[in-house]
Amino acid sequence: MRGWFLLPARLWLWLLFLAPLAIVGGYSLLTRGTYGGVELPWTFENYQRTLDPLYGAILLRSVVIAAIATALCLLLAFPLALFIARANERKNLYLNLVILPFWTSFLVRTYAWLFLLRDTGLVNTVLLRLGITSAPLPLLYNDGAVVLGLVYGFLPFMVLPLYATIERMDPALLEAAADLGARPWRTFFRVVVPLARPGIWAGVVLVFIPCLGAYLTPDLLGGGKSVMIGNLVQNQFTTARDWPFGAAISLGLMLIATGALGIVYWRGPKEIL
Amino acid sequence: MKHYPGHAAVDGISLSIPKGGFFSLLGPSGCGKTTTLRLIAGFEEPTAGEVRLHGVLVNGRRPYERNVSTVFQNYALFPHLTVQGNVEFGLRERGIADRAGRVRAVLDLVELAGKESRHPAQLSGGERQRVALARSLVLEPEVLLLDEPLAALDQQLRKQMRAELKNLQRRVGITFLFVTHDQEEAMSMSDSIAVMHQGRIEQVGTPEEVYLRPATRFVAGFLGAINWMDGFGLRPEATRISRTMPVNGVVARPATVVRTVFLGNCVHVAARLETGEEAVAEVVRENGTYAAGDTVHIYWDRSDELRFP
């Protein structure tokens, strides 16, 4: 009986996750077709090419950018989550505001940043008009713009798990810490942060992994100058017409992400398992 | 005084707590006893009025700047720290040296030696409470505030902990301020009791004083059972019952037994007087048995009548 109820979930997993993964796996072992696509013979050459230092450098860049974005998300999300958890009757309103951007397409929202940040955009126009700057600031098409876009896009994924753990915390624990002589900052680091650890880990995983594979944000806000590994994959499937190589990079990235997750599960707090 | 929007939680309280004793704040839930405790701990600031510790004004001082410590109702132990870590917490925050020695001494005191590396989740309710006590006592506070610390324990353990707490207080000599709604708890442990009602203090006195000479009708009714007669109150143990007309020197009224309740060591016999009032008499079994419908005399000593303005 139980098997029947699980059937939709099984089908879903097989059709929408494992099947595409198997196809990508198959592509990565084939030879590039002349006009895109794949053809025989089978080969390991695509995987050998991923070891080229050029791609290693792009991977490293991606890891660094994703790590910076994740760290900034954590720094911004913690006070926000604390604030929402203590907001009493306004909690739901604030939570909805955090989720509100999801009601609009990510693409549209990223374009909005283009209009804000470009040389003739809102920010530069205001700065110029007010005489604060004499020439437009280079706000767009650099790593900073990419990090900004990633932080903006993935902040809710950090806020929500943090909020969930902080909200569960017994307020008496904070009073107990103060009672025992801890100033607010000490209470934060000795009580709040350790107890929020499951939320921190969950948020870090939820933000870091999609940031690592991001392609839309670096494409639009990085303007092709700030290439991340996602753009490399995208490129192989579009302009470069090298599907097998794109597939090999995808799987390589997945391997790294799974490895990172494995470390988190192995080393991180048991609560998130 | 502490006002919340719409009502005063604590109003016009004036209370001096003698140093080194076991002092209880007793009252029904919502009477303001916990608010009083929180005002002393510094979790709340009074809207008006002063809080002094050993004569020193502490208004406006944050909890971490006051030398008092609280044992919370649910203990509020840090779940991510061991027993050792919990007890050490305050010592570390207050920059006290010789932490290991003091932790060992206090864990011996509360008989938790050997459980240093356990986490709160691995302890029984009674053990958790003793960790909470140790965590506060290790700081040697001027006053230890206890907010219904026995409420979370089961009946058996609660009675045992009463004696242990009282004992502990005598040994350490720290002022204990104990908040409870359980009159038996307050009476069995305290040197003095302040009875609170609707944000005010009704009476302060020793357990004997508040029980035997209650200052108000509320105190009389809250501490122990009472029969309300025309214009005065009478404790069940001062209310006596007899089948025959009692001898001179007492007040006697004819009555009819309504029901009896067997309590093990005694029987509560409820009888209706001719005036319609019901009185409960506490009867030991040797003094006869009664059944509903019996015609009896209810009598008492005039000196046992509790009268209120």
For residue A11, the tally of other CB atoms under 10 A from its CB is 10
Between chains, do A180 and B89 touch, taking CB under 8 Å as contact?
yes
Q: How many angstroms separate the CA atoms of A113 and A118, rounded?
A: 8
Q: Which residues of chain A neighbour B143 with C-beta distances below 8 Å?
A: none
In this predicted model, what pLDDT tens digit does every residue of B221-276 receive, in sequence order?
A: 898 888 888 878 889 988 988 888 887 778 888 899 999 888 888 889 999 988 88
* Containing structural domain, residue A218: 48-272
Show Cβ contacts of residue A183 under 8 Å, excluding neighbours closer than 6 positions. B64, B93
Whether residue A30 lies inside any domain: the answer is no
pLDDT at B131: 94
Q: Which residues pair with B196 in a beta bridge?
A: B201
Q: Which of A176, A181, A194 sits opposite B76 (nearest CB)?
A: A176
List the beta strands (DSSP E) in B189-292: 192-197, 200-205, 227-229, 232-234, 240-242, 251-262, 267-273, 278-283
Q: Which of B42, B62, B139 sits opposite A180 (nearest CB)?
A: B139
Between chains, do B64 and A180 touch, taking CB under 8 Å as contact?
yes
Q: How many angstroms separate the CA atoms of B89 and B79, rounded?
A: 12
Between chains, do B41 and A176 touch, taking CB under 8 Å as contact?
no
pLDDT at B6: 47
Whether residue A40 lies inside any domain: the answer is no
Between chains, do A181 and B76 touch, taking CB under 8 Å as contact?
no
User: Which has the higher per-residue pLDDT, A120 or B172?
Assistant: B172
Between chains, do B93 and A179 touch, taking CB under 8 Å as contact?
no
pLDDT at B290: 85
Q: Is B2 a residue whose pLDDT tops 70?
A: no
| Chains A–B, number of C-beta pairs less than 8 Å apart | 59
pLDDT at A155: 92
> Using 50, 70 and 90 to split pLDDT, how confident is the model at B10?
low
pLDDT at B8: 54
Whether residue A77 lies inside any domain: the answer is yes
Check if the beta carbon of residue B251 is closer than 8 Å to that of residue B239.
Answer: no
pLDDT, average across residues B151-166: 86
Q: List C-alpha distances in Å: B12 to A185, B47, B236.
A: 35, 11, 33
Chain B CB within 8 Å of residue A195 CB? yes
> Using 50, 70 and 90 to split pLDDT, how confident is the model at B46?
confident
Question: Domain B2-218 is classified in which CATH homologous superfamily?
Answer: P-loop containing nucleotide triphosphate hydrolases (3.40.50.300)
pLDDT, average across residues B14-25: 85
For residue A246, the tally of other CB atoms under 10 A from its CB is 23
- Please state the ipTM of this predicted complex: 0.82
Between chains, do B89 and A182 touch, taking CB under 8 Å as contact?
yes
Whether residue A10 lies inside any domain: the answer is no
pLDDT at A273: 42
Q: Is B157 a residue whose pLDDT tops 80?
A: yes
Lowest mean pLDDT across A20-24, A113-117, B5-9, B112-116: B5-9
Phi, psi (rounded to 5 degrees) for A219: -65, -50
Question: Among all residues of chain A, which has the CA nearest to that of B62?
Answer: A178
Interface test with A, best of B70, B75, B119 (most A CBs within 10 A): B70
Dihedral (Cα; B32, B34, B35, B40), 10-degree rounding: 130
Which SS3 state, helix, strand or coil, does residue B213 take?
coil
Whether residue A199 lies inside any domain: the answer is yes
- The ranges assigned to domains in chain B are 2-218, 225-304
Whether residue A149 lies inside any domain: the answer is yes
Question: Domain B225-304 is classified in which CATH homologous superfamily?
Answer: Nucleic acid-binding proteins (2.40.50.140)
Chain B CB within 8 Å of residue A271 CB? no
Between chains, do B93 and A175 touch, taking CB under 8 Å as contact?
no
**Local mean pLDDT, 10-residue blocks, chain A (273 residues):** 80 86 84 76 80 83 91 94 89 90 87 85 84 78 86 92 92 93 92 91 90 85 78 83 86 85 74 48
> Using 50, 70 and 90 to split pLDDT, how confident is the model at B4?
low
Which SS3 state, helix, strand or coil, does residue B29 take?
coil
How many domains are contained in chain A?
Answer: 1
Q: Is B141 a residue whose pLDDT tops 50?
A: yes
Q: What is the DSSP letter of B274?
A: T
